[in-house]
Structure 1
Amino acid sequence: MYKYLSLLFIFISITCFASNNPFLGTWQLVSGEYLNDKQVMISYDSLGLSSQKIINEQHFSFVSMANGKFWAAGTGTYTYNEKEYFESPKMASYPLESGGVYTFKYKIQDNLWHNERWHNNIRVEYEIWQKVVK
């Protein structure tokens, strides 16, 4: 009897944890900008950038296109707390910064995920994603 109750408790705990994760699903890039190496803010629209990110309980993966051609891709693990989202790419088509961990301040509201990345008190990236699949 205790064995079944223990298994039920574990199942309920896992289910509740997964359902409270606001990042689970498929996300489509709506807009964004980043600070290039010349300290100029570049709009994703000016690059014709489109991207899709898929997130499960432990991993993320994304592919980005610029004007219909491959731009970048990455995959790895992530964690989050109530204010920050941390991506740790394990494979990427770009050189990894910050020891391979990217920290974003975030806000999720009405199926829109706003995130911003800062470096030395300067915002270096800002993105808005829309959830398309839960």
Structure 2
Amino acid sequence: MKLYLLLISTLLLFACQPTSIHLNGTWKLLSHASIAKGDTTITDYTKGQEMIKIINDTHFAFLNHGGTFDAGGGRYTLSGDQYTEHLDFYNNKDWEGGVFNFTVTIHGDTLIQKGIEKVEGAGVDHEIIEKYIKVK
């Protein structure tokens, strides 16, 4: 009986552990919401422009192709659902060296990234919500 209770307790302990988030892969941006001073602007990335984010074990890179080309990348850390990007490279030098903290969730093949982008040199201070789909 004691062995049975120990086994049940162990199974419940592991069942209650949070699942880890696996970001590795290529992600295509579907939409980007920017919220600043009570105003929300939503950009649909399925029409007229395209952006992908590529993530490996230690680094991320993004490429945006639409009216203009945009690219950047760097190191990142992930602890639970807290994802922090260290923007080491970017074509806009005002953003380089920035550290951006986000909360990430994954539902199936969809990644949601939420957080604050603040870059004083560029006059940027807004919340963003990005929705990506995993490229197969």
Q: Flag whether TM exceeds 0.5 (same fold).
A: yes
| From 86, 97, 101, the counterpart of 2:99 | 101
| Greater share of helix | 1
Secondary structure at 2:22's aligned position in 1? coil
CA shift, 1:61, in A, is: 0.7
Letter in 2 for 1:45: D
Q: Match of 2:111?
A: 113
How many residues get paired? 109
**What's the counterpart of residue 6 of structure 1?**
none
- Counterpart of 2:8 in structure 1 is none
- Contact map agreement 2:104 2:114 (CA 8 A) in 1: yes
Note the alpha carbon deviations across 1:59-112, whole angstroms, 9 max, x for none: 11111123xx32421110111111211100111123228x61110111111011
Q: Structure 1 vs Structure 2: percent identity of aligned residues?
A: 28
Q: Distance in 1 between matches of 2:104 and 2:48?
A: 24
Tell me if structure 1 keeps the 8 A contact 2:21–2:106.
no
CA contact (8 A) 2:21 2:105 kept: no
Equivalent position amino acid for 1:26 in 2 = T
Determine the C-alpha separation between the residues in 2 that align with 1:74 and 1:119.
Answer: 15
Partner of 1:84: 82
Does 1:45 pair with 2:48?
A: no
Superposed, which structure 2 residues align to 1:1-134 within 5 Å?
22-35=22-35, 40-45=39-44, 48-66=48-66, 69-94=67-92, 95-96=94-95, 100-118=98-116, 124-133=127-136
- Given the superposition, is the C-alpha separation of residues 54 and 29 from structure 1 closer, same or farther in structure 2, using an over 3 Å criterion? same
Deviations 1:30-57 (A, max 9, x none): 1111136x76322112894420011111
Please give the alpha-carbon distance, in whole angstroms, between the structure 2 residues aligned to 1:72 and 1:41: 22
Answer whether contact 1:116 1:123 (CA < 8 A) is retained: no
Q: Quick one: which amino acid aligns to residue 74 of structure 2?
A: G
Note the aligned Cα RMSD (angstroms).
2.8
Q: 2:117, 2:34 → 1: CA distance?
A: 12
Q: Which amino acid aligns with 1:62?
A: F
Read off the aligned partner of 2:29 and give its amino acid letter.
L
